[in-house]
Structure 1
Amino acid sequence: MNTPPSPSGAQRTDGSTVRIGALVPLTRPGWVEAGRHLLAGLELAVRDANDNGGIVGRPLELIVRDTAADPQRAMAAVDELADLGVAALAGEYHSVVARSVAARADALRLPFLCSSAVLDALTEQPTQWVARLAPAQSRGWRIYADFLLNAGHSRIAVAIAPSVYWASGVRILRDCLAPSGGSVVELDISALTAAQVCEQVVAHDATALLLLVGYPEPAVSIVRSVRSDPRLMQLMLGAPAGQPEFAEWASLLGVAGAAIPFLRYLPERFSPLGERVETALRERLAEAPSFVAFEGYDTIAVLADVLRSHGTDWARIAEAWPQVDVEGTRGRIRFARAPGISVWQWAWAPIQVVDRDPAEPERFRIRHAG
Structure 2
Amino acid sequence: MNTPSRPTDARQTGRSAIQIGALVPLTPPGWVHAGRHLLAGLQLAVHEVNAAGGIAGRPLELVVRDTAADPQKAAAAIDELAGLGVAAVAGEYHSVVARAAAARADALGLPFLCSSAVLDALTEQPTPWVARLAPVQSRGWQMYADFLLGQGHRRIALATQPSVYWAAGAGVLRDHVAPRGGTVVELDMRELTPAAVCDRLVDERATAVLLLVGYPEPAVALVKAVRGDPRLAEITIGAPAGQPEFAEWAAWLGRDGAAVPFLRYLPQHLGPLGDRVSAALHASLAEAPSFVAFEGYDTVAVLAEVLRAHDTDRERIAAAWADVAVEGTRGPIRFSRMPGIGVWQWAWAPIQVVDRDPAELGRFRVLHAG
Same fold judged by TM-score > 0.5? yes
**Which residue of structure 1 aligns with residue 176 of structure 2?**
176
Amino acid at match of 2:255: V
Measure the CA separation in 2 of the matches of 1:101 and 1:348: 23
Asked if 1:342 is matched to 2:342, the reply is yes
Residues 232-282 of structure 1 deviation map (CA, whole Å, 9 limit, x = unaligned) = 000000000000000000011111000000000001111100000000000
**Which residue of structure 2 aligns with residue 299 of structure 1?**
299
**Which residue of structure 2 aligns with residue 93 of structure 1?**
93
Structure 1 runs (4+) deviating above 3 angstroms are: none
SS of equivalent residue, structure 2 residue 332: strand
Measure the CA separation in 1 of the matches of 2:156 and 2:322: 39
Q: CA RMSD in A?
A: 0.8
Matches within 5 A, 1:179-258: 179-258=179-258
Q: How many residue pairs are counted as aligned between the two chains?
A: 357
Deviates more, 1:14-23 or 1:345-354: 14-23
Amino acid at match of 2:50: N
Asked if 1:114 is matched to 2:118, the reply is no
SS of equivalent residue, structure 1 residue 58: coil
Measure the CA separation in 2 of the matches of 1:191 and 1:116: 31
Asked if 1:332 is matched to 2:343, the reply is no
The two structures have a TM-score, normalised by structure 2, of: 0.96
1:178 Cα offset (Å): 1.1
Amino acid at match of 1:286: A
Deviates more, 1:317-326 or 1:185-194: 185-194
**Which residue of structure 2 aligns with residue 159 of structure 1?**
159
Measure the CA separation in 2 of the matches of 1:61 and 1:77: 16
Deviates more, 1:312-321 or 1:179-188: 179-188
> Percent of pairs identical after alignment?
73
Asked if 1:319 is matched to 2:319, the reply is yes
1:231 Cα offset (Å): 0.2
Amino acid at match of 2:302: V
* Contact 2:75/2:101 (8 A) holds in 1: yes
Q: What are the ranges of 5 or more consecutive residues in structure 2 without an aligned counterpart?
A: 1-13
1:311 Cα offset (Å): 1.0
Asked if 1:133 is matched to 2:137, the reply is no
SS of equivalent residue, structure 1 residue 336: coil
1:15 Cα offset (Å): 6.4
Change (3 A) 1:16 1:334: same
Asked if 1:363 is matched to 2:370, the reply is no
Amino acid at match of 1:182: G
Measure the CA separation in 2 of the matches of 1:192 and 1:66: 33
Measure the CA separation in 1 of the matches of 2:195 and 2:283: 40
SS of equivalent residue, structure 1 residue 27: coil
* Contact 2:132/2:346 (8 A) holds in 1: yes
1:154 Cα offset (Å): 1.3
1:348 Cα offset (Å): 1.1
Measure the CA separation in 1 of the matches of 2:264 and 2:355: 10
Change (3 A) 1:53 1:285: same
Measure the CA separation in 1 of the matches of 2:310 and 2:143: 36
Amino acid at match of 2:161: A
Q: What are the ranges of 5 or more consecutive residues in structure 1 without an aligned counterpart?
A: 1-13
* Contact 2:208/2:238 (8 A) holds in 1: yes
The two structures have a TM-score, normalised by structure 1, of: 0.96
SS of equivalent residue, structure 1 residue 282: helix
